Amino acid sequence: MNRLEKALKRTKEKNEKAFVPYIMAGDGGLDSLMERIVFLETCGATAIEIGIPFSDPVADGPTIQEAGLRSLKENTTLKAVLETILNLRPIVSIPIIVMTYMNPIYAYGITSFIEDASRAGVDGLIIPDVPIEEEEIILSHLTVAQIELIRLVTLTSSEERIKEIAKRGNGFLYAVTVTGITGARVDFHKQVGDYLKKIQSISPIPVLAGFGISTPEQVKEMGQYCDGVVVGSKIVDLFQENKLDEIEKLIQAAKTVNV
């Protein structure tokens, strides 16, 4: 098991729900990335998802797009992010998941990217624009490097496709809880609970819900149906507003879910 699998296993053994915050690398500069990773680990996050700024995202809503633009103005590059993670690894042990698109990986060079990601201590990778039918272009490299490819299922995924996606990999299955792009939601479709329970019953690996979750109450609500949550846009906003206590409240909410 790599760090990510071990962290998810420990969380389940403690009868808690996983909490994975998303942060945009370079939003506020790469020095702030180091500070935020340390802070999130101290607060008890299960793992951290680090987004790489990209000029043409397909899954990111306005909040994360704006964070990406701020990061690009700081001249953030994929290589610089990996170097930052490498420099931080001696003082943090939390699992780190990189979220990027295939274009920056192609530009970097698939082999070189995986080698540098492995050296930096990256534990997982999310590539929203690579469906399972095309993932072989990178999967063999990731397997050798022991980096988990985190796959997504959506509200519109058929049961057959969910089964096919769920049986791959050993990290977690990312269950998207809205139709559309990321961003905080006031409420969710009434069928989300049933959708998450169905995926949970199918998947041999942990299921984490993401997209739109923005309050401690929503963290607890979603946590009743699956193994944990991923929170992105709200975390980005709270860091931008320097509301660190509210970030801690979100993380702590995952530890008190009544199932």
Name the residues annotated as catalytic. Answer: 49, 60
Q: How many whole angstroms separate alpha carbon 116 and alpha carbon 111?
A: 9
Phi and psi at 188, nearest 5°, equal -125, 160
List all residues 6 or more positions away from 120 whose beta carbon is below 8 Å from its beta carbon: 82, 83, 85, 86, 89
List all residues 6 or more positions away from 30 whose beta carbon is below 8 Å from its beta carbon: 74, 76, 80, 81, 84
Contact 115/145 with Cβ under 8 angstroms? yes
Using DSSP, state whether 232 is helix, strand or coil: coil
Using DSSP, state whether 186 is helix, strand or coil: coil
Contact 47/2 with Cβ under 8 angstroms? no
DSSP string over 87-120: HHTTT--S-EEEE--HHHHHHH-HHHHHHHHHHH
